[in-house]
A and B are shown apart, each in its own frame.
Chain A
Amino acid sequence: MSCVAYVNARLLDPASGLDSPGTLLCDGELVSDFGPELFKDGVPEGINVIDCEGFCLMPGLVDMRVQLREPGEEYKGTLESAGRTASAGGVTSMVCLPNTNPVIDDMSVLEFVARRARKLGLAKVHSYGAVTKGLEGKELAEIGLLWNSGALAFTDGIKSVSDARILCQALSYASNFGQMIIQHAEEPSLARGGVMNSGETATRLGLTGIPREAEIIMVERDIRLAEMTRGRLHFAHLSTSDSIDVVRKAKARGLDITCDTAPPYFSLSEIAVGDYRTFAKLSPPLRTDSDRLAVIEGLKDGTIDTIASDHAPHDEESKRLPFANAAFGGVGLETLLAITLELFHNGHLDLLNTLKLITSAPSNLLGLRAGRLKKGYPADLTLVDINRGWKVDADAMQSISKNSPFDGRPVQGSVLMTIIDGRIVFEQRA
């Protein structure tokens, strides 16, 4: 493959703090050089030139929480559709949950996903391994062998590992390999039967609530267990002020605990459920506005380490149901950038610190060669107009499933081009 120079770019690298006009040179699949001084006096002959027109050239997004429906539920989403959806969203690496069918609790499934994804050559797909066999919460999966095959961390996906003893063993055993457990924090017996946040709206609509405490007590308990086992623990998609505060205090005590949140939790509240809007049925459920503001605070003060899209595709038949019967989850790959940029546009964080949450922060957490501009790294990049306004239109999405909780929302920040291993896989320029 030949060399390509991306000229006239605003180079953004959240990891190093770079924000400067300049040029980036790709040599085949890799970034070979970049900076404000590069080719200042003109690009040498033999190098292809792409004009970035002053837009932001930045590392492709790293999305650490995505549900793929292949294998098992291809009518909701395939690896190919996820790859195209991710590319359209500027995501060049994503990590999928093991809740496929069969479950990724076995090397062969992990390798199947990796092989299929590599062949497609779209956004890179990594996998988490299951903590327990069949995600049943009873017996440990083959954590060591899964790690050998490339599992990045271990989680039971959309289910909590609720048995305290099993979680202890998992934390302890995974630490043999330096591996992290990712917990969906929701005490299942307290949340049982619940379909939205407990409170006024649930009461008015006559829906069973999931109390905030289901998340809070699970986070409190699990931090104790992580401390006891010296295991490495990460909480996915925190949604309440109190659970974030518990993590804040644990970090202050020097514990190696991390957490993420997802765009709905800092941009929407339970009001979005309105009159039984099933696209707003998420897990954890959308909370109150004061929780939403606390999530923003957690992002600002660094308590929350990363943002993940929590992409959960569902077909129409799974959502066009009475609220209680509808599936939990929303698609998020195509809105991850724009909703995250609201933090910048609304003045909560500066641009680089906003983008860090969806690039170098998750990449560092998982040890990926991604999420930063670096010589010798794969040329996984995205070209972004951070100001361009557009309106989320579920029907216009790349995703097979259209269940976006953000449908109709006016947003700012648009992906113009996505480059994976030096190849342009998505382009949408005005």
Chain B
Amino acid sequence: MSEFASGQIRFPHSHLLGIEGLTSNVISLLLDCAENFVEHNRQTDNKLSSLSGRTIINLFFEESTRTRTSFELAAKQLGANVINMSVATSSVKKGETLIDTAMTLNAMHPDVLVVRHNESGAVKLLSEKVNCAVINAGDGRHEHPTQALLDALTIRRRKGHISGLLVAICGDITHSRVARSNIHLLNAMGAQVRLIAPKTLIPSSIAKMGVEVFHNMEKGLQDCDIVMMLRLQSERMSSGFFPSIREYFHFFGLDYKKLANAKDDALIMHPGPMNRGVEIASEVADDIGRSAIREQVEMGVAVRMACLELLTAVSTKGNGT
């Protein structure tokens, strides 16, 4: 165990399946631990050995370069062995693949399984079949906890705190696991959350999750401290959620004009990969003074190191707690 996670407080869960259910103390624990890794990673000789001899398997049922790479780097920074597995989900018997793969990998006694799957709830189902710790790297539209944590770390470093901030999450809320995890996290940490989206891309019942809903960017961005843009998948257009990219950008794309409604020092965030000219104008995305998009990527590695460190500290192999 490294010096960073050796404090009195331990991570109280055996998996990280979502932000829902985590207390603000636990979230702060993860963020504090990640904070230390940020500084450490910036040094040239930055290898740690707290996870030496441990095996991390990245099990991705859905394509992802960024998240997988981020987890891989995080694990390697801690000295762990990393195996990447991509499983095609095109076969009809997707679920059989899921359970069978889980059983097979479990027999290899990994310490942590990092899992991404295109169906909501699939990672939880898998976690019930294995003995090791499981980290949800995104399940369907349900949750993407490490993304919310890296967003929180970015915000905390830039603004000094999360509590009391007014945060707008804009774009395709319906299909976004990033939005759900962020809503849970920001609410737990005492921020105020606004969602901005066309009515076709936001479930009407989402207001019950403790958010304010807007369908107009100018109004929704009013006085916001943080503007989080979500990625818009182009296939949503063909399914009738909006008529054209042009029209979408006109009403919901982030440009300087709309951004002017937010606070002068409002921070711009995006989970990536960005669709420039669709949900965000290039000039806004690349604005060094306002955009935290590149910093988010850096925080991603630190946050994932913290998750791996704390989860392996909870569950030592062969001693399932």
Which residues of A are in contact with B by a Cβ distance under 8 Å? Answer: 198-200, 202-207, 209, 275-276, 317, 320-326
Contacts and interface: CB of A to CB of B under 8 A. Distances in A.
B203 interface: yes
Contacts of A324: 119-121, 140
A320 B205 CA distance: 28
B143 A206 contact: yes
10 contacts: A200-B208, A203-B203, A206-B121, A206-B142, A207-B120, A207-B121, A207-B142, A276-B120, A320-B99, A322-B121
B20 to A, nearest CB: 8
Contacts of B122: 322
B17 to A, nearest CB: 9
B209 interface: yes
A276 B124 contact: yes
Nearest to A193: B239
Contacts of B94: 321-322, 325
Contacts of A203: 203, 205-206, 208-209
Contacts of A322: 94-95, 98, 117, 119-122, 125, 140
Contacts of A202: 203, 205
B45 interface: no
Interface in B63-96: 94-96
Given A206-B140, A321-B98, A324-B140, A199 B121 contact: no
Contacts of B142: 205-207
A200 B120 contact: no
A325 B125 CA distance: 12
Choose among B95, B142, B143, B177 the residue with the greatest number of A CB atoms under 10 Å from its CB: B95
B95 A320 contact: yes
A407 to B, nearest CB: 16
A323 B139 CA distance: 12
Interface of B: 20, 94-96, 98-99, 117, 119-122, 124-125, 139-143, 177, 180, 203, 205-206, 208-209
Contacts of A275: 121, 124
B180 A204 contact: yes
A187 to B, nearest CB: 16
B255 to A, nearest CB: 29
Contacts of A321: 94-95, 98, 125
Given A203-B203, A322-B94, 10 more contacts: A204-B180, A204-B209, A206-B143, A207-B141, A320-B99, A321-B98, A322-B98, A322-B119, A324-B119, A324-B121
B120 A206 contact: yes
Contacts of B139: 206
Contact of A206 (B96, B98, B177, B208): B177
B313 to A, nearest CB: 25
Nearest to A318: B95
B15 to A, nearest CB: 13
Contacts of A325: 94-95, 119
A13 B181 CA distance: 57
Closest 10 CB pairs of A and B: A321-B95, A206-B141, A276-B121, A322-B119, A206-B142, A206-B120, A322-B122, A203-B203, A200-B205, A323-B121
Contacts of B95: 317, 320-322, 325-326
Contacts of A209: 203
Contacts of B209: 200, 203-204
Nearest to B202: A203
Contacts of B99: 320
A213 to B, nearest CB: 12
Contact of B125 (A205, A276, A317): A276
A198 to B, nearest CB: 7
A401 B119 CA distance: 25
A206 to B, nearest CB: 3
Contacts of B20: 204
A196 to B, nearest CB: 10
A41 to B, nearest CB: 64
A207 B174 CA distance: 10
B197 to A, nearest CB: 13
A317 B100 CA distance: 11
A323 B120 contact: yes
B138 to A, nearest CB: 10
B231 to A, nearest CB: 16
Contacts of B140: 206-207, 322, 324
A378 B99 CA distance: 49
B139 to A, nearest CB: 8
Contacts of B180: 204, 206
A336 B111 CA distance: 46
A332 to B, nearest CB: 23
Nearest to A325: B95
A205 B122 CA distance: 11
B97 to A, nearest CB: 10
A394 B86 CA distance: 36
A39 to B, nearest CB: 58
* Residue of A202, A317, A322, A324 with most chain B CB atoms under a 10 A cut-off: A322
A240 to B, nearest CB: 16
B121 to A, nearest CB: 3
Contacts of A200: 205, 208-209
Contact of B96 (A199, A317, A323): A317
A199 to B, nearest CB: 5
B120 A199 contact: no
A198 B203 CA distance: 9
A51 to B, nearest CB: 49
Nearest to A199: B205
Contacts of B205: 198-200, 202-203
Q: Which of A198, A275, A323 has the most CB of B within 10 A?
A: A323
A325 B121 CA distance: 11
A322 B128 CA distance: 12
